[in-house]
Chain A
């Protein structure tokens, strides 16, 4: 799944950039992150849990920063597998780009996510829905964090992401979503006016996070 999203934030670009370099802080904005271990400048490990209703699943991810262009672009990969469920693997390549937007900063997320094994073949629609909720939470959390609101607790696991109520209003002025044509469609890239494929829009990190939800099905099956 290729996903793009951008939103604007009432903070100057250098401040946003600084924040982005702090992996633990950024990771804590992703709903469901339980542990962050920074190994060195480039490598870190993240454990996160996703839940839908009574089901939950936990994933271990290895993250690596692959490109840093100061104040402009940060690229990182994340790959890992289910700690419980043996459901398969997740891989993503993510790019975060910053741009001036008046006094604030436009943050663009660009992600390419692939799920392997059973994980990649269940409930893609459910994942997309979950991702919508997780995305909203992530953006709001990022905004809050950038505004200096400290958080003692890590974000709780996202629940029933599809209908997550809008979190505390921060300075997110607008949130615009775009999604690339789903890959593998029979008839090539979809035209935007098509009535088909009106999937909820998905963001990179959130998509990754939400992707893990599929393992829940398996987790439930097994307990």
Chain B
């Protein structure tokens, strides 16, 4: 189906409250069908193969010693006792790593940043609590950990800094004095128009400082790696829990000073990634190094206590946001100067940069400036996490939109409606240069308002019979999905492309094997890829088998992140499917003595009128080269690479209804309604699952999660599941999801990425709802998470202010 035709037939809007959107009727489980996920059978039967399930014979286990101080020099390190402990096979320190490896590369550097060499083990100074400084390999994990107790290490604690802005103050301890004079990694201003002039003529300016909490993604499967080395074959095979097998292979080759062809990386099943498993970590290098040196398989599985300090954290930032408007509430300009916390090192994906790209949101704002500053602090490095800057900036902007409404006496729904870009204004280039492709932003907001009975709720007033106060919070947003192109990425120094690639191969059973380097992290690529292939090719969905995450069998690709997989892969799958389909039809037509145009592939056969030949027969003929036209080459296989021309912008709106106790700050999120558009949905049930899953993480970050560091000691004080409050199923507020399907004009099939958008609205919608309920007290929340404690404090603050003369 050509995309134009598909776009024309795509349902304009499907709304559903609890049940997933009704799928349009299609053939063969193609686009739009909510077919059962291909991944489910094995996962539900306990037949998944995660890295820890890989159990080679004679495998050794690795344990890693970590610095207990936020900033310390290794004064003395003696590992002789550890090395001679029972069952210990090898101990590496920073000196061994320096001698044998090169630094682990940064995949997505901060533009303008000085490179900070990062080795798998620290050899002199550790810059965060949890940084590895020794690795021990033994016959079992507990022997390796016992040997860690025997490592004789003496630390010289150095002055540390854990506050994001404090790190940029003069006199703050400098984390990397050899490379930098202070802790400011880079400063990236961008913008368009004349925001100064707009500010000068504004009737009103609202501004504040917003603190975004440091959180972590907590995948159910922690990181893990199994490295095996065959010296005679010079073959390093690495099973890892990673979102990017091909990128990890490149990083390992660099760091281990090996040839890429000597390394195979496999990620069979990955129990959640969320951005935390992008690129190589120290333990991946260390396990490989030990395996090569010992000539035995080496396994390392991160335990949960390690995970809290050894895997990247996310989000922490401080935004100074400003909105200028005229008397009617028309937004004239927005400015945002924000500082992201990078932690003690530049992780492979470092500072979240999408706060800049979408800072003006879905509003008609042409004058704006945004500046990202990146600060080093003595904390676990920050990396990518679902949303990558977008939930952060959304909280700051949307809190101010509500404040603007109050200041001008305009209803916040009305104020948003006045400023949202309309469909005929798209495509629109925002001040950061982002091109919003298409959409109907006002409709998404209107649907949400209607679903919660906005007018009725407003008319009913705030005060309830039980004394609690009702509040409604709205938020509208866009989400960038995918990358514009490799040219765009090159400008930012990124060390990966924007493309995806697939190899499709017909087999003699009449099925198709589809190979992709995208690993299966819960985002259902096997399902979606098979649906897209079936749509174009004509074969039944069930007959497509997707093999994912193995660098040995898949074409070089980019990986599973940035909601980019589908956008890029859709093009590659389409091209490869068309090539295979056309050749299949040519061979069939020759055998059936008809013209290829008279034939279609339908399920498991090639059909032309009443006649049909099984696909298995045609494919076998092609594979063995017997019974094919004289001018056809044998084989039925295609590889395709596709780079999207532009990013696609998903969008949506959300509303939260809360009831707040103004004495205690306790509150309940009674309703949460979200309208969401990711263009044409390939599998509505999968989309629903992705949005709901991201919402759960969004609620966690909005309502409870926060990694806290003690300012005085620099110690992470809540690094365990006992102390870090991640929501359980019972904690997630009831969610009502609505969808629109405005096809994207810039992608194949009109799709947009999906997977991250749910993380964006919870903080803003709930924060706005609470402040709406407490408007009479003048409460304005500027920090995440929104907890009863935070509300109680804000109430105390507001009361004290009112009592003051």
Contact = CB atoms under 8 A, between A and B. Distances in A.
Contact of B145 (A86, A183, A187): A86
Given A183-B711, A184-B709, A120 B716 contact: yes
Contact of B719 (A121, A126, A196): A121
Interface string B88-112: 0000000000000000000000000
Nearest to A197: B789
Nearest to A90: B68
Interface of chain B, main secondary structure: loop
Given A88-B68, A116-B129, A184-B708, A121 B149 contact: no
A122 B723 contact: yes
A23 B723 CA distance: 36
A54 interface: no
A183 B712 contact: yes
A184 B713 CA distance: 9
A38 interface: no
A172 interface: no
Interface in B675-722: 708-713, 715-720, 722
Interface stretch (A29-37, A77-85, A153-161): A77-85
Contacts of B712: 114, 183-184
Contacts of A119: 68
Interface in A48-97: 82-86, 88-89
A131 interface: no
Contacts of A186: 708, 783
B720 A117 contact: no
A83 B149 contact: yes
Interface string A196-223: 1000000000000000000001100110
Contacts of A6: none
A118 B145 contact: no
Given A116-B69, A187-B793, A218-B305, A121 B718 contact: yes
Interface string B159-184: 00000000000000000000000000
B722 A120 contact: no
A221 to B, nearest CB: 8
A124 B789 CA distance: 18
B715 A120 contact: yes
A204 B712 CA distance: 17
A84 B146 CA distance: 7
B303 to A, nearest CB: 8
Contacts of A167: none
A169 interface: no
Interface residues of A, number: 30
Interface in B749-799: 783, 789, 792-793
Contacts of B406: none
B interface, size bucket: 35 or more
Contact of B720 (A88, A121, A195, A222): A121
B184 to A, nearest CB: 24
B114 to A, nearest CB: 29
Interface in B114-160: 129-130, 142, 145-146, 148-149
B706 to A, nearest CB: 8
B249 interface: no
A195 B80 CA distance: 52
B732 to A, nearest CB: 24
A222 B145 contact: yes
A89 B154 CA distance: 11
Contacts of A134: none
B803 to A, nearest CB: 15
A165 B329 CA distance: 66
Nearest to B305: A118
A142 interface: no
Contacts of A183: 710-713
A157 B265 CA distance: 50
A107 interface: no
Contact of B722 (A83, A122, A187, A196): A122
B93 to A, nearest CB: 16
Given A83-B149, A124-B723, A195 B711 contact: no
B389 interface: no
A196 B715 CA distance: 21
Interface in B527-561: none
B120 to A, nearest CB: 19
B69 A121 contact: no
Contacts of B68: 88-89, 116-117, 119-120
Interface string A98-135: 00000000000000001111111111111000000000
B149 A85 contact: yes
A187 B708 CA distance: 12
A86 B716 CA distance: 17
B149 A82 contact: yes
Interface string B267-295: 00000000000000000000000000000
Contacts of B245: none
B713 A120 contact: yes
B308 interface: yes
Contact of A121 (B146, B717, B792): B717
A171 B142 CA distance: 48
A70 B508 CA distance: 94
A117 B716 CA distance: 8
Which 6 residue pairs are nearest across A and B when measured between Cβ atoms? Answer: A117-B68, A121-B719, A116-B68, A184-B710, A120-B715, A122-B720
18 contacts: A83-B149, A86-B149, A89-B68, A116-B68, A116-B129, A117-B67, A117-B129, A120-B68, A120-B129, A120-B713, A121-B308, A121-B715, A122-B723, A124-B718, A184-B712, A187-B793, A217-B720, A222-B145
